[in-house]
């Protein structure tokens, strides 16, 4: 067995063989099952992309209709889970509420018939259908409201915005939100997907797999960055403060949220699409002062860090779109999770097909053959 050298963060180390998505970090290319993200964002829907990622092909009209119908049917959440969520502190972070309620689903559907394609399909449908409902439900409950029941007449993206705001969204807003979900659905072996795969490799249930991934996505170095970007723009406040802010971060070796990527050494193609979506929204609903700041911040960071391959990533512009859609800042990462459930499930299903439990090795740095010192002598 060839033992490769230790690489911090497993940088550049393949952890799996996969056919789900492809990233070229130098060219700024992202493909889902070989189809460019730009095509899917422009021509497809999130549910189509989810079907493509999970079952490896674009659905026929009949397959997509059946998939959508199943998801609409399964959007509702057991009252026991809703009652549990009512006990969550309203000050709790929505990602913690989501991780808890996602794991709780396993209490109701824990049969681990992982070799049964029907069980796999049921788990896929239930998780894609119920995660948005749980995110929206906690958002309502923490305000003292009852959850808003899913609206069966609305599609996936529109229904989430409806459950969140109690208003049917404008068609442009719903379409833009659907594109955001497609853009966030999958991204090869990122930290939360790797977490899902490691959990899946023990053959536990899919609800535990998703709960592991949600907990991993929550961190500010990963999915939590989109929320941090808005706080950063608020702190910068004015265009004049952009350069001093960046120079201060660099001096203190602080990471600037929304920039840099382990794989992309050019601007994340998703950031480009999200920036265009933000501009479309602003044209219709009025500019957001943070947008000008964001554009100036991107310019200064590129000037200072472009030579190191540090450019805007997916989290940099997404928050500006979500703000305009009326999504609270601390729900930005749960929205990322709603989309990424598709990618996590795709890797869960792929992993089951070739499973071997993840158990890497280590480079041991500690002592050997050490004596046990009695407490009186310590």
The site for ligand SDX (CB under 6 A) is made up of 9, 187, 190, 221-223, 225, 255-262, 305, 308, 310, 313-315
CB of 22 to ligand SDX, least distance (A): 12
Residue whose CB is less far from ligand SDX, 201 or 313: 313
CB of 44 to ligand SDX, least distance (A): 18
Report DSSP letters for 277-291, one per residue: HHHHHHHHH---HHH
CA-based nearest residue to 61, from 42, 47, 72, 75:
47
CB of 340 to ligand SDX, least distance (A): 7
Residue whose CB is less far from ligand SDX, 158 or 314: 314
Identified catalytic residue from 184, 187, 315, 347: 315
Alpha-carbon distances of 201 from 17, 19, 35, 206, rounded to whole Å: 14, 18, 28, 11
24 phi, psi to nearest 5 deg: -110, 105
Q: Nearest to ligand SDX by Cβ — which residue? A: 260
Alpha-carbon torsion, ordered 183, 188, 189, 194, to 10 deg: 60
Residue whose CB is less far from ligand SDX, 131 or 137: 131
CB of 221 to ligand SDX, least distance (A): 4
Identified catalytic residue from 261, 268, 288, 307: 261
What is the C-alpha separation between 260 and 302, in angstroms, rounded? 10
Residue whose CB is less far from ligand SDX, 148 or 310: 310
Beta strand spans in 286-346 (E): none
CA-based nearest residue to 270, from 278, 308, 203, 135:
278
CB of 252 to ligand SDX, least distance (A): 10
What is the C-alpha separation between 317 and 276, in angstroms, rounded? 9
Residue whose CB is less far from ligand SDX, 323 or 347: 347
CA-based nearest residue to 154, from 137, 132, 182, 125:
132
CA-based nearest residue to 197, from 183, 185, 208, 182:
208
What is the C-alpha separation between 195 and 209, in angstroms, rounded? 8
What is the C-alpha separation between 374 and 378, in angstroms, rounded? 7
CB of 138 to ligand SDX, least distance (A): 23
Q: CA geometry: angle at 78 spanning 143 and 214, to 5°? A: 70
What is the C-alpha separation between 200 and 347, in angstroms, rounded? 9
Residue whose CB is less far from ligand SDX, 48 or 315: 315
261 counts as catalytic: yes
Residue whose CB is less far from ligand SDX, 48 or 227: 227
Neighbours of 373 (CB within 10 A): 8
347 counts as catalytic: no
Asked if 134 and 126 touch (Cβ cutoff 8 Å), the reply is: no
CB of 270 to ligand SDX, least distance (A): 7
Active site residues: 261, 315
């Amino acid at each position: 067995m060839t033992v490769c050298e230790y690489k911090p963060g497993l940088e550049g180390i393949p952890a799996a063989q996969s056919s789900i998505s492809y990233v070229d970090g130098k060219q700024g290319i992202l493909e889902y099952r070989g189809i460019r993200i730009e095509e899917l964002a422009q021509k497809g829907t999130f549910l189509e992309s989810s079907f493509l990622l999970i079952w490896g092909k674009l659905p026929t009209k009949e397959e997509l209709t059946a998939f959508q119908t199943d998801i609409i049917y399964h959007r509702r959440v057991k009252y026991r889970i809703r009652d549990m969520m009512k006990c969550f502190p309203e000050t709790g972070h929505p990602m913690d509420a989501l991780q808890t309620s996602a794991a709780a689903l396993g209490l109701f559907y824990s049969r681990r018939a992982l070799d049964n394609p029907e069980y796999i399909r049921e788990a896929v449908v239930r998780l894609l259908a119920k995660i948005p409902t749980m995110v929206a439900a906690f958002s309502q409950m923490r305000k003292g409201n009852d959850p808003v029941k899913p609206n069966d007449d609305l599609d996936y993206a529109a229904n989430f915005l409806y459950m969140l705001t109690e208003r049917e969204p404008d068609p442009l807003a719903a379409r833009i939100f659907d594109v955001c979900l497609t853009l966030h659905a999958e991204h090869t072996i990122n930290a939360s997907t790797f977490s899902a795969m490691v959990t899946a490799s023990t053959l536990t249930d899919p609800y535990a797999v998703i709960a592991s991934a949600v907990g991993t996505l929550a961190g500010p170095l990963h999915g939590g960055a989109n929320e941090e970007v808005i706080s950063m723009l608020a702190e910068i406040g004015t265009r004049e403060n952009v350069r001093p802010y960046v120079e201060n971060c660099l001096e203190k070796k602080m990471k600037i949220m929304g920039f840099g990527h382990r794989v992309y050494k050019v601007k994340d193609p998703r950031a480009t699409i999200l920036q265009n979506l933000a501009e479309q929204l602003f044209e219709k609903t009025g500019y957001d002062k943070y947008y000008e700041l964001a554009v100036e911040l991107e310019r200064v960071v590129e000037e200072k860090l472009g030579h190191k391959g540090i450019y805007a990533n997916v989290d940099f512009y997404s928050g500006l779109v979500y703000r305009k859609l009326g999504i609270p800042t601390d729900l930005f990462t749960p929205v990322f999770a709603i989309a990424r459930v598709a990618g996590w499930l795709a890797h869960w299903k792929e992993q089951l097909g070739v499973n071997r439990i993840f158990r890497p090795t280590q480079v041991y740095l500690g002592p050997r053959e050490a004596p046990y010192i009695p407490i009186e002598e310590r």
